[in-house]
Amino acid sequence: MAFPKNMIIYNLTRDIGLMAADAAEKLEKLLAEFSFSPCGDMDSKKYGFIPVIGGGDLFVHAVEGNMMISALMQTKAIPSAALKKKLTAKVKEVEAREGRPLKKKEQEALKDDLMVDLMPHVLPIDKRTNGYILKGKYLVVDAPSHKAAEDFNALLRKALGSLPVSPVESNKAVELVMTEWLKSGAPQGFTLGESAELKAILDNGPVARFKNQDLTSDEVLKHLEAEKVVVKIAMNWKDRISFTIKGDLSITGMKFSEELKDQNADIDREDVAGRFDADFALAVGEITLLIAALDDCFDFYKHEAGPVGELPTVTPKTADADAIEGLVPDCCDSITITAGGNTLTISHASEETDVS
């Protein structure tokens, strides 16, 4: 198992049945309805859930109330410079043959024709995103940005019908807390790393970035005297996980110590399922403790418990154009997608969506 490298942490603000005894079984069926299928010749993007373990067939990996799910986004795009070069050459060729300048609409038609010719030959790019549901309390998305995490959440929300989550928030001013770490020392269990970003309080103020630097040095501290605050800082937690935390409480660049990962070294790597189980239990155990430690530092806002719900047992077999936003390139009049036993046709020309 690949240990998480990033954490966008969300509170599950309402119990939707993810702690129920049959939660993993229900979630498995729901995610299967939105399983990944690769891009066709004219598709520019496809996004869906994939089995958690490569070569396996389960969309949910569950251990002691914690669950891991995975999604794959596949994109295809013609490089704009290459398209522009080919279009320019084609326009010149046609203008020379017809002895007149082409109108804008004619050039657009040539561009569409080129895209139809080129798209089937574009190599797709795959990007996997993992999500961790921690005992129905937190959803942690291994994504480098909130945009990527929200894309994952949107797909999960479509599968579940509802996903009441909100990014963790602090009851304290995050940047002031991190600034105090430089002034007075890191909180218990943490040590300062060697990189940080400081910014003036005023909008559009100067920014100071440090890398491979002693963050307690006078060179750094003088920027605090100039009324800068920490907006990003590298930290280490108990010599087990190193990471960078930002003012929005997102975490990037996570590295689990080799000593920690070696705890499961005695498990035969040929026992893929057994090793995955052990690594998953180790990883979620550590990030759960890390989140608790960060909660102690920042005093996360606690949402009032809402009504208890349950996961749906079936997925409505419907779809709409918003659910596959970006899949229909401008060069096509329509595309047809089959998923979950349904056929979905979307037409640019008629601006109609037909589901059967």
DSSP letters, 106-143, are HHHHHHHHHHHHHGGGSPPEEEEEEEEEETTTEEEEE-
pLDDT at 320: 43
pTM of the model: 0.82
Q: Percent helix, strand, coil in the chain (nearest 5)?
A: 35, 30, 40
225-259: pLDDT as tens digits: 998 999 999 999 999 999 999 999 999 999 999 99
Of residues 328 and 201, the one with the higher pLDDT is: 201
| Weakest-pLDDT range from 8-12, 26-30, 205-209, 319-323 | 319-323
252-301: pLDDT as tens digits: 999 999 999 999 989 888 888 899 999 999 999 999 999 999 999 999 99
d(CA 9, CA 142): 9
238's tokens: 């108990």
pLDDT at 355: 43
pLDDT at 55: 86
Q: What is the mean pLDDT of residues 130-159?
A: 96
Which residues sit opposite 7 in a β-bridge? 251
d(CA 328, CA 116): 12
pLDDT at 285: 96
Which residue is listed with tokens 């010749």?
Answer: 41
Q: Whats the size of the chain, residue-wise? A: 356
55-64: pLDDT as tens digits: 889 999 999 9
Q: What is the mean pLDDT of residues 210-227?
A: 93
Q: Give 22's pLDDT tier (boundaries 50, 70, 90).
A: very high
- pLDDT-above-70 percentage for the chain: 87
pLDDT at 314: 54
69-115: pLDDT as tens digits: 999 999 999 999 999 999 999 999 999 999 999 999 999 999 999 99
Q: What is the mean pLDDT of residues 43-69?
A: 95
How far are the Cα atoms of 139, 202, 239 from residue 288, in angstroms, in the given order? 11, 35, 16
